[in-house]
Copies of this chain bind each other. A is one copy, B any other.
Amino acid sequence: MPAPTDYEVFELGDLVLQQGATLRDARLAYKTYGTLDADKSNVIVHPTWYSAWHDANEWTIGPGKACDPGKYFIVAPNQLNNGLSTSPSNTPPPFNGPYFPPVTFHDQIEAQHRLLTQKWGIESLELVLGSSMGAGQAYQWAVSHPEMVKRAAPIVGSSRTSEHNQVFLKSLRAALCADPVFNGGRYSPDALPTVGLRAFARIYAGWGLSQAFYWQREYLTMGYSSLEDFLVGFWEGFWLDGRDPNNLLAMLWTWEQGDVGKTPGFDGDTEAALRSIRCPLVAMPGRTDLYFPPEDEQWASQFIPHGEVRVIDSIYGHFAGLGFYEPDNAFIDTALRELLDRPA
């Protein structure tokens, strides 16, 4: 599936990044679902996961679901660097490709805050949810703008990227960069480093799903006929299909550096940042997630005044929170519904 084209663009203007550089004439691609109420009190924000576009969130949205567009105005902002919003791949020289400056989770949320406040005058969010890197953005929203966020639901993600998770990310980077075609990011868009991307895909394949998923050969139920068919057909296909390597590395940096303690004002103190979250927050890690394990969310939850952890009891590993398996989706939808029903 190539990148979707059904989105709008908000002109962010110049965005001064946390690390000091400026994104000039930056743009945020987004899609909305439903209608904004007159009193602007029905807003849900749902940022995107690593490498994904807004359409990857649509499994959570629909009539009768927690995120019902008949009731809520749902905004799905594409994270910077995902190829639709301002990214290495669509920025002209001199900040193009490998010369694009690093973007933090804090920067992502500042861009989204501009969209919501400047375009619509929104001052309050009924819910911020997100999966994986989207969960990191949900945490960041709750820490950066506690005055706006009434409920948060980070799914298969974390408030701080653990060192083990960082090792996984570093291995992805090392494999992609080992391909000589990558050439320090100075490849041609017409000749991508496909050998490196295929190695990247095979690393991801081991981490993304669980031991039990492969033991039970669940890929057969997804329409793949063998392990190799799944590795090439699904995994290599996914990363070769419209994913720009410099964009991937830029998002990887955001992920690797993830830590709400790095929010301005907290001086690196993750626990203090978690303590500052005012709203109810329901974290949903997957029981068999290999890089965002439930323990990390249980650790964070102890510091969040109204924090709670609901573990998705699934063998789909990280994918338990990405909309791939109906029972997991139903579990998440139920939790979101209960959270939205709670007075804030």
Contacts and interface: CB of A to CB of B under 8 A. Distances in A.
Interface string A307-328: 0000000000000000000000
Contacts of A212: 295
Nearest to A164: B214
Contacts of A273: none
Contacts of A344: none
Nearest to A207: B206
Given A179-B178, A180-B180, A217-B163, A211 B295 contact: yes
A217 B227 CA distance: 34
A250 to B, nearest CB: 19
Given A174-B199, A178-B175, A227 B295 contact: no
Given A178-B199, A203-B203, A290-B290, A215 B171 contact: no
Chain copies in the assembled complex: 2
Interface string A194-225: 01101100110111011111110100000000
A167 B317 CA distance: 15
A35 B293 CA distance: 49
A171 to B, nearest CB: 4
A198 B176 CA distance: 12
A29 interface: no
A162 interface: yes
A289 to B, nearest CB: 10
Nearest to A170: B202
Contacts of A174: 175, 198-199, 202-203
A7 interface: no
A178 B206 contact: no
Contacts of A291: 211
A166 interface: yes
Given A171-B203, A206-B164, A293 B211 contact: yes
B206 A168 contact: yes
B175 A214 contact: no
A231 interface: yes
Most buried by B among A162, A164, A177, A205: A164
Given A174-B198, A199-B175, A203-B203, A167 B215 contact: no
